[in-house]
Structure 1
Amino acid sequence: MRLLTILDVSSEKSGVHDFDPEEARAIAWFLTGLHHEAIRLTKKYRQLNEHELLLLNGPTSQSTDPDKLTMIDVIPAAVDVPGEAEGMIFIQEALLLLTPQEQRVVQATILDGFTEREAAKELGISQPVVHRAKERALKKLRKYFLR
């Protein structure tokens, strides 16, 4: 049952719309429920994060020695710094097999992620030269890695 009418000033065309109090009440109820659910989930995830921190700060064994390792000390880091350094040394050794131009082309197209056209512009050479140098370099690197 539509009892009231209101002016719609939000649209470009000003018009008169019927106002349904039952529909407004249902929308308000729905929005209130969403608000309460958002608050509940926020509290839940905050408690989970606090619980995880407590677990990670706990001892790895049943001993009461305060100098013992905690769980967070045992979990591996997301970044493997020694492994990455070793990989970089391996790549640098492989790049020494290439001519200086091939090194620059591989650096630009593969390691820096430029397209051949962008690399050509950056290096001041033509795109076909970049393509040929890249192909020669990749052929040398394949031979080196598969030996």
Structure 2
Amino acid sequence: NIYDVQTNLDDNLVVVVVEPYRLVVPRGRREYRIYMTLFESDRIPPSWVEILNQHACEVWTTLPWLRYGYRASGVQVPIKIFPIGTSPSPLPSPWHESPVAKNGFVFLLIANMQPRKGVVETAESFIAAFGTNNSDVILRIHAKWGD
């Protein structure tokens, strides 16, 4: 995790965290470069594999499954897993005005309205599993059109 990196850093060392396609120049002599990616696939583009192996000190991603895909693609540098979460508190005010689930369980989906994101399927599955008037759970969807 980031604390492991920071404890080993020299005061003159620069840490850079970037997505693989955004920085492809060679690392500086005293630069510790971390590439962070959430690319959801069982393989990554071959050009990224080359970039990561040539320029990264390590790669960060969110799931062991993604690490497996990067390894299967040929990434050889260390790959660390960091879980990410979502706090609904900074979301727009209508989110806070809606009722809280009786037992406090809220499903949250944040996605674009693209077929591959499964927004409609998520809503349909939620209704099939919990019904339309179940006060024990809430499905909140924050979606926008396009990329």
Q: Given the two structures, how large is their TM-score scaled by the length of structure 2?
A: 0.23
Higher relative contact order (CA 8 A, sep 6+): 2
Pick the structure with more helix per residue. Answer: 1
